[in-house]
Each structure stands twice: as structure tokens, then as C-alpha cells.
């Protein structure tokens, strides 16, 4: 889960002012512009943590974010998220799944 840290400023996480959406990712860095938080959480989970991440920030609209961390160092990734007023929480959740079979 991706959540906001209560009472913490958002730092590098800002409401977008960009006209177009964009994203970039490389080892130790991700940047998103004009993206909804659900999509940002999904991308950070996949790219940085290697697993699904759900958005529980409660932030609506579109956002810009830039994260930089030391590749392979989870503590530096957690610090980068905290600088944006965000935290990663690993909690089990039941997720509904639709299976489609071809006839």
C-alpha cells in the first residue's frame, strides 16, 4: 500500500501544472508528470518493489513526483518516499480477480 504520512508535507510530490503526462524510470529513479496517484503507486510498486502496490493516499487529481534512491537499498527508497510525504506499508489484502476462459 502507498499511503500519506499524517501531518507530513508532500515535498517532491506536487499537484500537476503540466499540460501533458510523462514518465521515466531507470535504476534508482522514477519521475511522473500529470499522473493519478493510483497509476503512480502501481508503477512504483512494480518498478521499485517488484510487486503490486495499491494507492491508499486518498489524493485525487493528477500529480508530479520524482524519486531517487540507491538501487538495491530499500532504506534509501523508503527515505525518498518519506521526502514526498508518502510511506509504503506491506499488508495483505484480498483482491478480486476475474478469470476469463476461451471457449
User: 14-29: per-residue pLDDT in tens?
Assistant: 998 888 989 888 888 8
Contact between 30 and 67 (Cβ < 8 Å): yes
User: 38-83: per-residue pLDDT in tens?
Assistant: 999 998 888 888 888 899 999 999 999 999 989 888 899 899 999 9
pLDDT of residue 42: 92
**Lowest-confidence segment of 54-58, 73-77, 84-88, 95-99 by average pLDDT:** 95-99
The answer, yes or no, to whether residue 95 has pLDDT greater than 80, is no
Contact between 44 and 13 (Cβ < 8 Å): no
Amino acid at each position: 500500500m502507498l499511503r500519506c504520512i499524517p501531518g507530513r508535507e508532500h515535498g517532491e510530490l506536487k499537484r500537476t501544472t503540466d499540460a501533458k503526462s510523462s514518465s521515466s524510470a531507470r535504476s534508482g529513479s522514477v519521475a511522473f508528470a500529470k499522473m493519478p496517484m493510483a497509476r503512480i503507486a502501481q508503477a512504483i510498486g512494480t518498478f521499485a518493489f517488484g510487486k503490486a502496490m495499491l494507492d491508499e493516499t486518498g489524493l485525487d487529481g493528477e500529480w508530479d513526483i520524482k524519486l531517487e534512491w540507491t538501487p538495491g537499498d530499500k532504506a534509501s527508497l523508503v527515505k525518498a518516499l518519506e521526502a514526498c510525504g508518502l510511506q509504503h506499508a506491506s499488508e495483505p489484502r484480498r483482491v478480486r480477480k476475474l478469470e476469463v476462459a476461451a471457449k
